[in-house]
Structures are given as structure tokens and as C-alpha cells.
Structure 1
Amino acid sequence: MDINLVKCCQLFCMMLVLLLQVNLSTQLQCEQCDCIISGNNEDRGVHMTTLTCTEGGITWYNPNGALSLELRPERPGNYRTCYKVDSGDVKILISREGELNVNSKSPDQRSKFLMNDHNLQTISITEGKSHEICVEAMNSVVLYLEPEYKENIGYQKILFQYDSAKIPEHEEPSIEDCRPCSEDEILKAYCSSDFVVVGSMNDVQHKDEIEKTHIIVDVSQIIRQTGSHFNRLRRDSPYLQGTIVAPRKCGIAKGDGTFLMTGRVRLGDLTMGCAPYIDEWETIVTKAELEGRLQCTRD
């Protein structure tokens, strides 16, 4: 065989091995808007991805380097994007593109992270579980996730969940969040919500530090749910129990009676949607069925 041909084959094989090693060292896989990053402790590169869904998440195994994440919903507009992070024992800096806010961090603190030469504005520095943090942007926002570099950190995982909602142009968000639902909105919520349950309020806890209200509910009937958020605390209990979250500004108080409770799963929490009294719901749904306005099967 020709010597030059043998050398070319050897060179090609070496290049192929190197390419395979690069591909295996770091992988970014996205299915719709949920992504998985897997790598090793020595990889300090910058991963880049763009997500167009209004909600999703990143699971980052053996986090190192940095992630440039553009959240760009398909419909243009002014969006409020909120996120939560669970970084375990890893400290993670989250920034966004924009003018650098020099008062938000000290040089010593910033030098611990990787991308200290970018024109970024710090949003949060988290170790462990964060509360919900929100930013507003027109059309899209670019976030940078930078775990602090540590040698020999062992197995670690970062969970990042986000939710983007379009800000109403003519209606104050506080009004939108707290006003009672119309009959049509109740019917739509029944057919399309992530959870639809029948239950009562066990307790109401106001969390002023995170501007949320936690509603502990006793559930007697699950009509529909995504995931398993309602659980039986005792074997002999006739109820399942779960926690539904609402804005603190709505001033929700504990009420007696039985409700049809609807809502969606947002950033891992159950968020309250429409919640009419059960007798009010029976009147609304019976009327809608007679008029052919119910867009799904009544369970």
C-alpha cells in the first residue's frame, strides 16, 4: 500500500477520534424547550442555545463553563420572564445582556466567575434553591448562566426552570392576576388547565418575602392533573392535599365551602386560575351544556 495513503488514513482516524472525544465531552440536547447539558468537570466552554417556548427548563449535569440562553417567544411583544434555580452545592451567577450594574457585585466576587469581560448585568447569585426571580424584556432576553469553577467537585446537577408571559398592553397586571373569572374563562379553564380539582381550603399562608400566598387545599376529587402534586398525607385521610400558589397582592383569605379549583403548573408550583364555588360551577356548566358552549367532555 502507498505510504502516503497509509499516513492519510492514520491522520483521518486521529481527527475522527478527536472529534468524537469533543462530541462526547459536552452534549447539549433539547427536546422542544427542555434541554439537557451533560459534560465533565474539565470542560469550561460556552454553550449556546435559543428556546422559543414560553416555558421550559435546563438540566445541567456536571456544570462547568457557561451557558448563553436566549429566550425568544415566537410572538413578539413585551414579556416578563421568571425563573427558579436549584443549583445544589454549586454557586451560580445569572446575568443578562445590558449595561453593567457595577453596584450589584464586587470585583472580588465577580472574578470568581468565568465571563468577567462581558457587558452583563447581574440578576442573581444563588447556591441551592432560589425564589422566583423575574425580568422584563421586549421580544427576547439573553441570560448567561455561569457556575463557579471548582476542581474535583464530583457529581453535580443544576435545574433551571423558566416561564415567559406577555405583559398586557392596556390592563394592569395586578388587575389581570386578581380579578374574578368570567363564565367563559371558567369554562375554558375547566377544559384546558393543568389541574382541575374539587376541594376546600385547609389553610392560607401569606409569604410576604416572596410576595406569594400558599393555599393548602384538601382535595376530594381530582378531575385532571399534570404530574402528581396532590398526595394523601395519611392512609386513613379521606382527602388528598396539595399547595396552590397565588399572588400575595390579591389578598386571598381562607373561605368556607367547596370549590372547583383550576390552574397551571408554573416553575414547579401549582398556580391558581379560576376557582368558583362548586354550586356556582354546576349552574355555569349545566347552562353551557344546554347551549353547546362547553368545548370538552364534562367529567
Structure 2
Amino acid sequence: MWALRALCLAGLGWALGGGGAGADPCGWRGSGLSQEAGSVEQLSLHCAEGSLEWLYPTGALRLRLAPRLPPTTAAIKDRSPRRVTACVKPAGTFRGAQLYLEREGVLELLLPEAPRPRARCFSWLPREKVALFLQATPHRDISRRIAAFRYELRGDWLAHPALPAAEGACRPCNDTEILMAICTSDFVIRGSIRSVSNDVELQESIIGVSAARIHRQKLPVFQAGGRPAGSIRTPLRCGVRPGPGTFLFTGWLHFGEAWLSCAPRYRDFQRIYGAARRQRLNPCEFPLD
């Protein structure tokens, strides 16, 4: 039986073992050389996003998922339990281990050794017991093995069509979703499509956008200077193609990248928003010009 070693909780982030002063409270970096053979290091995850880097993997790490996420508006309104969604994205150097999702004692492989650099997402209800189980794979030479990945957790992603793994990712937004998107999205950009390229390996389409106006952006995805431009991603299966006209691009940030949610033509958005405003059904104020 594997010996378990309980570790102390560091701040609001991971349970860190030897993280040291100044360590990122939402990240963990450690070495398998300090672990006993066949042991399982116990960690706890409480942040909404962060990273893990495991050098020279030996034994295993078990990461308990207990994020402290703010309640969603819908959850407050109807008081029903909301699913939590998590995504993990391996670094290009992910070697020496495999990552499993442990749900109610059953293991499901999320990331094999040397995976493609694609995010894997999963969700669970608050009452379910889930954890991430990082199991070292046997190698004679572990000197160049590093298992590293980034993680993101959200309490309301299932309602966001921008999530790449979401079932409605390619479905056009209805009027209500468009009106909510301008109020709640990480970015709202008015602009035009200048290019579309496809990454078959990652199964992603990258939409090059020229921005006429930046209404909102949580991070500087669209850089200023001249006419701002940037890129927005969407699943390859959506079959996005370049087209003329001005659009209102909305969406969410996923591992620092912009992902498309709703993108109505701007003239259609003006009509939808104008009708809602006349009936006082607009969820937030938005400038029309």
C-alpha cells in the first residue's frame, strides 16, 4: 500500500510541499527525487487557475479539487447546485507521467505521456468527490522528464458557448444569448474578419480580426497602435470561413487565449439591442452609434 503524506495548505492555493518563500500560491513546483519510492504526495487545489511542474516524476501526486469560486448569478437566483468545470492544458515538455481524473474512486485518463498540447475539460457537481491523479511512468532515465500543465476552474463555464469542449460551441447564439454576451463576456470587439487559418493538430480555427472599436477586454488580447488587431479561436469542427462585413465579437479567455462565443453582424446586433431597449429588456447598457 502506498504511504500517504499529508501536506499543509499554503494560503488560498495549493497545499505546497517545500514551495518556499515567494512561491506562487496557485502553483506547485517540486521534484520526484524528494519522494519515497511508491509514495503518493497529497496536494489540495483551491485557486481558479494556476500551474503545476513536476520534475523527475516518481511515485504519484494526488490533487484534491476544492476551488473557492464565487456563486453564479443563476445559482443565487434558483439556489440549485451548479457544476464546476475544469480544464487542464499540458506543456509541450509533458513527459514522465500520465494524468487521470479520479471521480468517486474511478480513474479516467486525461493526459497520456507526451500528449498533444490540447486542453482537456471535465465537470462535476459540488457533491461529487473528484481529484487529479498524476502517476509517474517507469523510465530508466528520468533526468529529462518534466510533467507540467496549467489548469483553470470555473463555476459557470457550462453556460458559455466559448468553452471549446462545450456541446453548443458551434451553435449560433439566439437573441437572449447575444444580449447576455455583451454584458458578461471577457471581451467585446467590433471589427471585421481579415483571415481564418486552421490548426489540424489542435483542432482549432484561428480567426484574425481587425478591430474598429474595443468595447471591453479583460486582458490585452487586441493590442493598440494603428488599427488594433488580434486573433480569436473556435473549434475546427465549427467550419468558420472568412466573410465581409462588420461583426460584434464576444467571448472568453481560455488559458490566455480569446475564444469565440457570439459574433452577430453588427447591424443585426443593433436591431436586437434596439428592440430590447425599447421594451426595457436589455440586461445592461451598451453604446450604439
Q: Aligned-pair distance for 1:67?
A: 3.0
Residue 129 (structure 1) shift: 7.3
Q: Which residue of 2 aligns with 1:37?
A: 28
2:102 aligns to what? 97
Residues 166-190 of structure 1: CA deviation (Å, up to 9, x unaligned): 599xxxx886222221222111100
Matched, 1:48 2:36: no
CA distance in 2, matches of 1:39, 1:185: 43
1:213-224 correspondence runs (5 A):
213-224=205-216
1:25 aligns with 2:38: no
Residue of structure 1 in register with 2:62 after alignment: 68
- Number of aligned residue pairs: 246
Cα distance, 1:29 vs structure 2: 10
Deviations, residues 41-98 of structure 1 (Å, cap 9, x unaligned): 74326132144x8x53334486766431234688768877542122647644312338
How high is the sequence identity, in percent, across the aligned residues?
A: 25
Retained in 2: the 8 A contact 1:97–1:121? yes
8 A contact 1:197–1:221 mirrored in 2: yes
Quote the residue 1:57 is aligned against: 50
The structure 1 residue matched to 2:150, chosen from 144, 160, 164, is 160
Q: Residues of 2 paired with 1:140 and 1:275: CA distance? A: 37
In structure 2, list runs of 5 or more residues that go unmatched. 1-15, 70-79
TM-score, normalised via structure 2 length: 0.66
Q: Residue 28 and residue 262 in structure 1: after superposition, are their counterparts in 2 closer, same or farther (change >3 A)?
A: farther
**How well do the aligned residues superpose, as a CA RMSD in angstroms?**
4.1
CA contact (8 A) 2:195 2:207 kept: yes
- The 3 A distance-change label for structure 1 pair 29 and 145 is farther
Which has the greater radius of gyration? 1
3-state SS of paired residue (1:242): strand
**8 Å contact kept, 1:80–1:167:** no
Gaps of 5+ in 1: 1-22, 99-117
* Alpha-carbon distance change, 67 to 263 in structure 1, aligned in 2, over 3 angstroms: same
* Residue 132 of structure 1, aligned match among 112, 119, 125: 119
Cα contact 2:44–2:66 (8 A) shared by 1: no
Q: Is the 8 A contact 1:27 1:37 kept in 2?
A: no
- Supply the AA of the counterpart residue of 1:48: L
TM-score by length of 1: 0.64
User: 2: CA distance between counterparts of 1:290 and 1:128?
Assistant: 52
Higher helix fraction (1 or 2): 1
Contact 2:98–2:135 at 8 Å: present in 1 too?
yes
Return closer, same or farther for 1:282/1:80 CA change in 2, 3 Å cut-off.
same
